[in-house]
Chains A and B, each alone.
Chain A
Amino acid sequence: MKYHLHWRQLVAAALFAAGLPVMAQPAASTDTLTYMQSPTVVTADQVSQQQVTNPLEAINGRVAGVTIQKSNNGAAAMSAVRVRGTTSVTGGNDPLIIIDGVFGDLSTLSSIYPSDIESFTVLKDASETAQYGSRGASGVIEVVTKKGVTDRTTVTYNGSVGMTHVARNLKMLNAAGYRDAVTRQGGMLIDKGYDTDWQKAIQQTAFLQDHHVAFMGGSDRLGYRVSLGYMDHDGVILHDKLRNLTSNMNMHQRMFGDLLNIEVGMFGNVQKDQTAVYDVQKTFYSAQAWNPTFGTSRNSSGGWDGFTYANQINHPLALMDSRTRDKTVHLSTHAKLTFNLTENWTLSLFGAYSHNEDEIAQFLPTSIWSGGKGYRSSAKTESWMGHAVVTWDKTLGRHHVNLMGLAELERDTHTGFYTTTTGYSSNDIGIDAIQAGAVTLWDGTGSYRNSPSLASFMARVNYDFDNRYSLTVSARADGSSKFANGNKWGFFPSLSASWNLGNEAFLNDVTWLDDLSWNVGYGLAGNQGGVDSYMAQNYLVPAGIAPMGQNLAVTLDQLINANPDLKWEVKRSFNTGLSAAFLGNRVIASLDFYTSKTTDMLYLYNVGVPPFSYNKLLDNLGSMRNSGIELALGFTPLNTRDMELNINANVTYQYNKLLSLSGYYKDYWLEAPSEVDLVSLNGAGFHGGNNHIVYQMVGHPLGVFYLPHCTGLKSDGAGGYVYEIADLDGSGDINIANGKDRRVCGQALPKVLLGSNLNFRFKQWDVTLQMNGAFGHKIYNGTALTYMNMNSLPGYNVLADAPAGNIKDQTATDYWLERGDYVSFDYLTVGWNVPLSAKVQRTISRLRLSLTIDDLGTITGYSGLTPMINSSSVNSTLGVDDKNIYPVTRSYYLGVNITF
């Protein structure tokens, strides 16, 4: 190939190289990527720095425009990832993950051990993602695993041991404070005489160990690499465990001279999670609010003492008796044949098969679930994918043309079943013998199968003149089985151009400027991620046993409003960017702007009954705007043989606005209400009513806080205080319903995101510090609203500060709406490349030791446990801290890395 790598890729690679300037060739190993504009690449050297469960966490804060919500939910946490924001309100916002060409989703990444990853490439622009069609509409993260090397056999071992502990809990009243507060209020004091910190009672110091070994080798016509990895992580909540066994094998071989190149690979894993947290909110709500005078021992009958005034929560240790096991098995095989037919023609055939199995077993004892509950389920996905790509590549003088045609087919088959039992008379056996439950209810058992497919064709023309001007035009047609005939196909063209000013003669004399380029692109992308199979046609499913007559018979009924008019959601995006390198590549900067408009936006409307039989209808009405500016800076002030300092930072400004949610479906005018609630509070006294916090409102960003305004606390006339609510609509009375005394008072999605990374090397020693930040958003502290309410006593404990405040109210107002800005120090790694004598180097070529501290601390004005809650995924937890936050942890571990 003539054009090995666009220089911007090198810039990006160097930018994130964390002090190791020599890069292996990153993701552009496939010829099809040659002309892509600005993929952002993160390479192996960052991945291995940090102890991660999910490899994606390793690139958190490394790439502008990519939000990775590092989840703190226990050992088996999943990250939420957004590339350039949320562009659909219904679904399909997760980026496409491609591992060695195999399509997958975020969960597929758990089948790859972080040390097996050669590079991540993040594709953001429409012209970049066009290659991957609808599944890549929300961005693409390409993962390339390490491959065998030529003429050398190597074995590497990576291992680490460490521990995690809880760094911060909420400060609730202790037993003395609780007794005092209850007595002073004249409530019924149930005093068992203990003083238990329930948050600590369900926590543990967790240990973790990771091991990974890889073998690789090859000759000039053949290369192989095989690796095995094992992770063993405990969580900080009792019984939380994660085990993950991964394997990755690949080989490549050349045949018939240079005519055929064969790559075959297989990767997979078996992951087992176990937890006693079956309901995150119930667990932490219980541990925070349970009566502190209770003890931690079982009562004489072997159970746990109840406290009937606290009926929304359970004895925290009773909850720890529950068990949920989740076993996922992933297996993926793929093969790629590349025929270098002539100097100009290349044909590549790719096929992949993946098998995913998710098995869940759960037992909830009778102390926390009426009658107990045993549950087993199995969900399988089989996925076949194949494509053929033909390319024609020709250089004539300064002209270079590349043509590409692609055809692709994909089919996923989802099958599964589940069954539930209840009516347990004892808790001695459950999870592995669910027939110990006497009752199997009709609606607790079921199975399903669906098999959606996608077909795509694409053509692309790429023209480059003199390494200075380049133009790419692509046209893509995607067909989906989820839509009715006539709506199956969508057409999504894209266009991009770039100008590499660095190669212009007039800049040759500018010595301080090493490189400069400008690019611009426009394109359409289709999304169907929010559509399930069989939503476009009326089908009847088993709906229940109708209570009629003497024979039990299952009624088949349609349970949703089918919509035959469903079609592709379309995102039109425009992007332009500048990149530059100065002062001998010591300063590297890039600035990108993008704006996208989602039209025919899929939205689940609340519709009238009648005309519809059900009150929800998914339809393509509505639109949304997403814009942003991304700035990435890399700075190398020091670079000598012994010492090197790199400072990298990226800042993303993102803006989102819901433009419209209305239109005609057939003759009926559909319109989302002016306020649609997304997130509501939960807990005692919070069921329904005016407890909605985050809303979706046309004309505003997705996820805004829409709340009554509290002007302060006022006396309730009996020594306590209540929230004084402003009469915002001037009606003369206080009515906090939607449209009345409420106002929009902030957004849940950050306006500005920051990622920064410092790397310093002195001789064999190096230090890396990673920081992330988010600004401009707010967090609703529902936890404080709940635990500052003295009316919760005696059933529910309150914060240590609550008696002093003596608030006797839990009306949701903006009183507990706080700024969510934070800067978090994610991790600090100190590494030492042990100097080895020449004799030792004959067996051990490299030895590195490292010490890492995760979650060093956070700078924030937010008064709750942590500001790092869900501020990116538009779902039922967005922007609200409501008794459902895992304790803040800190981890320490020692790592060793040996290459033989």
Chain B
Amino acid sequence: MKRYIKYCLLLIASAWSLVSCNSFLDDNPTDRLPEEEAYKTLSDLRNNALGAVYLNIGGSSSSQGLQGTARSVYDLNTFSTDEAVIPTRGSDWYDGGIWQNLFLHRFGNVDFTGDTWNYLFKEVLAANRAIERIDAYAAQHPDESVVEMRAEARALRAMFLFYAMDLYGRVPLFMTSEPTVQEMKLQDRSVAFKHIVSELQAVDADLPWQASPRPGEYYGRMTHAVADFLLAKVLLNAEVYADDDWTDDQRPDGSAMMWDVEGTLMNTWQAVEYYCEVITFEGYRLADNFEDNFSISNEESPELIFTIPMDIYNYSNRFVYQFRSLHYNHASALGLNGENGASATIEAMNTFGYGTDHEDARLWSTYYYDTVHHDKTDDLVTLDDGSPLVYRPLDVKLDLSNDPYEKTAGARMRKYEIDFAAMSDGQLRRNDIVLFRFADVLLMQCEAMLRDGRAGAEADALLNQVRHRSFMAERTATLDNVLDERMLELAWEGWRRNDLIRYGLFTRPYTDRPQTDGDRHGYTLVYPIPGETLTACGCSQNPGY
């Protein structure tokens, strides 16, 4: 009996222990989908393939998003220039010297140059993945059209490559979501430039003629006008982008570069003008008021071409730029929070004519300065001791520590209408973030005509169309005046670095910013490429880093 029980138990035990172990170790998740399940219908394709690219055009964390977030594309294009500065204010905003290093063009010590690269190429890879998914779907469903979707993904990819090329010079040009080491080799800037132009031209015709900033089916999406804006912008910088050696102080001549535009051969400046004309033809026009572009309901503005849609409840896109600019008391008077940081430079104030008898009308719409009042109630904003808060635009310095105006120096960012319903310190709000708008198109067209040697009434008219809208006196269209106008019109919109490099002024010295060695050699015209990417592709770093 005892023996019988023993063998019986041993048998049970060994049977139990030999249950099919590999199936026991299979883990089939129920809170996520395997890749092959996620792109089965057109709607899946739109939401998951394209959606993955759109999801991150704006962002909610540092270095993510084209605009709205800190330490990202926007900061690299703004706080490295004569437009704006984040001064050190005692123990505030020192942050290990990162903002000073950015302003002083010591870019090797600005760690978010790498994070920004990673963001841009994450988007390129997402676009590649989207294209692969779309192609796989098209192969299985030959009777359904995915042409528009595919064009959208390609144009988005070209847009992110444009930002990457603009910031870093050399970029890899790969067409898959899992590039090989060979495909990842960094391409010369001129190669990337031509690639971006040809990609945008190739998909232009397949993109919808729809207004992307307007709520509806095409809200926030890549449309025909967006691609044309990009073409104009990229071509306007042709002399910069076609130049593979930015350290030799020599650039190719844009007038000598010829482009096939819809079957017609044009020089660079004519091509820019062409794309600007197409956008005008599509019906984009200046909004009646400058402020309409930045109001809570700015999606109605006819001037906007491409925006980052904002929604307090559903989208995670944030807008931190006012939050980090406004004085603590100013922000809290508005029911928001502020970090008392970003300010306009003295150069910007001078361009706006601050404190002179020829102040630009847009000074008031763009900045808070001097004594400030609540935007709605008009109450005076005061400091903790009851005295009025006075922003002092001309007392701004790179390091304000121990300065009497440590906390109050510098004009602050207004531009966007305050949203009193905003959440999360005022970072979640309803004003859509403006990426591309028509005023820029007019100024680009004007500049292209000037660069093509066609100064005169037609160019003047383009410039003054922008100035009239803000009730400013006419100016003659010259390259210098256009650059000033770009500051007046586009301050806080993330274009200053691009403009200054095109004008050859990015590396010049100005207040608080002596010229560095890197500036003299031209190294600082592009940012360093992150080491991880160089390691993976076995490529060399940009010169000077």
Contact = CB atoms under 8 A, between A and B. Distances in A.
B423 A550 contact: no
Contacts of A796: 91
Interface string B134-174: 00000000000000000000000000000000000000101
A610 B184 contact: yes
Given A450-B27, A539-B34, A685-B94, A607 B532 contact: yes
Top-5 shortest CB links A-B: A689-B96, A407-B17, A308-B328, A555-B51, A608-B533
Given A608-B530, A611-B184, A689-B111, 18 more contacts: A339-B9, A341-B5, A422-B424, A440-B313, A441-B313, A455-B24, A485-B22, A544-B316, A547-B308, A549-B220, A557-B55, A608-B184, A608-B532, A608-B535, A613-B122, A613-B126, A613-B129, A808-B402
Interface string A370-389: 11000000000000000010
A537 to B, nearest CB: 7
Given A541-B31, A673-B531, A548 B50 contact: yes
A534 B31 CA distance: 11
A449 B90 contact: no
Interface in A837-851: none
A583 interface: no
A321 interface: no
25 contacts: A189-B385, A190-B384, A190-B385, A339-B9, A388-B16, A388-B17, A441-B313, A441-B423, A442-B315, A481-B24, A539-B35, A543-B52, A545-B55, A547-B57, A549-B220, A552-B314, A553-B46, A607-B532, A608-B534, A669-B538, A685-B91, A735-B109, A791-B401, A795-B90, A808-B402
A687 B112 CA distance: 12
B47 A479 contact: no
A547 B58 CA distance: 9
B535 A671 contact: yes
A673 B533 CA distance: 12
Interface string A318-354: 0000000000000000000001011001010100000
Interface string A721-744: 000000000000001110000000
A449 B38 CA distance: 19
A689 B58 CA distance: 24
Interface string B479-492: 00000000000000
B234 to A, nearest CB: 21
B17 A370 contact: no
Interface residues of A, number: 109
A308 B125 contact: no
Nearest to B71: A688
B535 A307 contact: no
Contacts of B19: 409
Given A370-B424, A547-B315, A810-B91, A311 B401 contact: no
Given A439-B313, A441-B313, A549-B219, A686 B402 contact: no
A715 interface: no
Interface in A536-569: 537-541, 543-550, 552-558
Nearest to B20: A455
B95 A686 contact: yes
Contacts of A409: 19, 21, 24
A485 B26 CA distance: 9
A556 B25 contact: no
B314 A481 contact: no
Contacts of A188: 383-385, 407
A457 B17 contact: yes
A32 B240 CA distance: 75
A75 B94 CA distance: 36
Contacts of B315: 442, 544-545, 547
A684 B91 contact: yes
A4 B101 CA distance: 70
Interface in A638-696: 667-671, 673, 683-691
B345 interface: no
A553 B47 contact: yes
Contacts of B328: 308-309, 311
A297 to B, nearest CB: 17
B36 to A, nearest CB: 10
Contacts of A538: 34-35
B125 A347 contact: no
Contacts of B428: 441
B121 interface: yes
Nearest to A736: B97
Interface of A: 185-186, 188-190, 259, 306-309, 311, 339, 341-342, 345, 347, 349, 370-371, 388, 390, 407, 409, 411, 422-423, 439-443, 447-455, 457, 479-482, 485, 488, 533-534, 537-541, 543-550, 552-558, 606-615, 667-671, 673, 683-691, 718, 720, 735-737, 786, 789, 791-793, 795-796, 808, 810, 812
A534 B25 contact: no
B492 to A, nearest CB: 21
Nearest to A257: B2
A606 B47 contact: no
Contact of A556 (B6, B38, B101, B181): B38
Contacts of B47: 546, 553-556
A736 B97 CA distance: 10
- Interface of chain A, main secondary structure: loop
B166 to A, nearest CB: 17
A548 B220 contact: yes
Given A611-B536, A613-B122, A689 B95 contact: yes
A548 B219 contact: yes
A737 B108 contact: yes
A339 B4 CA distance: 13
A187 B490 CA distance: 36
Interface in B246-260: none
B92 A685 contact: yes
Contacts of A371: 423-424
A667 B181 contact: yes
Interface stretch (B190-198, B332-340, B444-452): B332-340
B91 A455 contact: no
B367 interface: no
Interface in B117-136: 117-118, 121-122, 124-126, 129
A810 B314 contact: no
A453 B27 contact: yes
Nearest to A552: B314
A792 B90 contact: yes
B51 A548 contact: yes
B55 A543 contact: yes
A847 B458 CA distance: 105
B48 interface: yes
A185 B406 CA distance: 12
Given A371-B424, A791-B90, A615 B34 contact: no
A345 B111 CA distance: 65
B321 interface: no
Given A308-B384, A543-B52, A670 B91 contact: no
A471 B338 CA distance: 70
Contacts of B95: 685-689, 691
A552 B46 CA distance: 12
B178 interface: yes
Nearest to B99: A689
B457 interface: no
Nearest to A812: B96
A217 to B, nearest CB: 30
A544 B22 CA distance: 35
B22 to A, nearest CB: 7
B91 A792 contact: yes
Contacts of B327: 308
Nearest to A542: B32
Contact of A609 (B55, B117, B180): B117
B96 A670 contact: no
Contacts of B74: none
A670 B121 contact: no
A546 B35 contact: no
A347 B31 contact: no
Interface string B424-446: 11101000000000000000000
